[in-house]
Structure 1
Amino acid sequence: MAAKRFRAGAGLLVAGLLLAGCSAEPQAEQMPQDDIHVSATANPKPSGKPLPSPEPGSSEQTGQASTVELATQVGAVFAAQLGFDQSQRIGQEQLKELATPPTDTLKDVVVLPSQCEQPLEALNWSPAQLGTEVARTDFTNQAGNIAGSVEVAKVADRAPVEEHFKTVLTMRTDCSSVKLNRSEYTETLKFSNPQVGEVESQLAYTRRGNADTAQDTLVLVQTKGQYVAMVSFISGQSLADEQFGQVAKQIMDSVLGQL
């Protein structure tokens, strides 16, 4: 799957953009089955497969969506209206995997400058690591060449969020250009501020040097009350155009409106 290829090929995924369970080319049966997603997708095609059994504690089983679930659903619907109309809601088991920060992501990799190794590894972060109430939906466009996600968590302690904000700032300033030296090839990561309006934390980065793992990433993180939301995009093509930042900000605003 594309997401796993990014992770294995790079040894890291910046700012928690793991896209767990989300292929770069989603199939019809991957579309979420809840009414709010189906109604947002033009002419959805039935997969012909039986629906999976609801997971224990899920909104399908209880019949009521939590605040974080509703917020991510609304974000996915808004993304669909902006052209990202294929989506997949992440299940509880995958969310549990996201809750555990990956380790040894830079094993056998020489990071230059060396002082950037720790903050670079710390970028393997997502809201799922912070709270027990978490929801996430991944989405992509029809072409399958730009994938995104919206993730929301309820947090009891804001300190880890602030620590992540500091890490992002470090990457944009002191570590704006980083080389990953491997035995097979060398990659260059360049980090910058995408200048996306009023967002607490925002990061853009490009990865070059190996055709199989070259990518652009855009990540926005915003808090509201006891919640933290993240909207991310990843693509093998350039995301430098300001329209991608505007799309991400609009999706973020739709999510925050539900919190």
Structure 2
Amino acid sequence: MKTRSGPGKIGIPPWQQHLQELPVYTPGVRLTRDERARYAKSVVDAHRAGGSKLGIASFLGCSFALVQRLLDLGEGLDEAGEAHQVEKVLRARITDGTYRVGDVLPSPERLCVQLGVRNDSVRRALARLAQAGLTLGISALGTVVTDPDTPPTGSTLQVRTRSGQIQTWTLPMTQSPHIRAVITARIKDGTYPEGSRIPGLKALTEEFGATEGTLKSALRPLRKQGVLSGTRQEGTFVHSSARSLLASAEPIGTDREGA
């Protein structure tokens, strides 16, 4: 593979510095095992240093999906990794009804004991389930099984504890305002040009670590303003005058998921 040339580490964002020494990626060429390991380590380091998955993909000249696979590999979520195996077990239990919608999952500590795995593997597996909309973790309370087709709405949620007791949990403010702010900034700075199609829901949920319900909630005000339009089938597009619409719009306040 060719060596990447560039200005060195001076004057570039910190996250890009982790990618500077990688060979130039050639689309369609399969990475060797050693190359995958090298790319995975650098991509994980870049992501932890603040690089978005979309930005890393653009810098390397590869697909968003490849960046996600490299992150999975670097963080132990590849198919041979322990975290991936934990995710498979929990998904199977949700599918077969062992854990039903509304059930509170055993604590991460109990899952570690039950499955004989590390706490970090459980944490990563739960994060992936949350991204898929299969669970919702609430700080200091626990993780509840959810239906990705009907994500929780409102400020409270009825849950069923492991003892069978029904409880009402108060949902925290979601990350919708943050996601909307990032999307808006990308429209304003040209990352998402006027008239272009933005990444799909799957790509955005993976990037932000959010459920589809949260993404839809984040984008809904932008759709109402006319800044974004389109359907799930054809994709979401930026209006040809989106910057003017944003400049003339009233500030969008915070909200709760599904609000």
Q: Which has the larger radius of gyration?
A: 2
Question: When you count strand as a share of all residues, which structure comes out higher?
Answer: 1
TM category, shorter: under 0.3
Question: When you count helix as a share of all residues, which structure comes out higher?
Answer: 2
TM-score by length of 2: 0.25
TM-score by length of 1: 0.25
**Structure of greater relative contact order (alpha carbons < 8 Å, 6+ residues apart):** 1
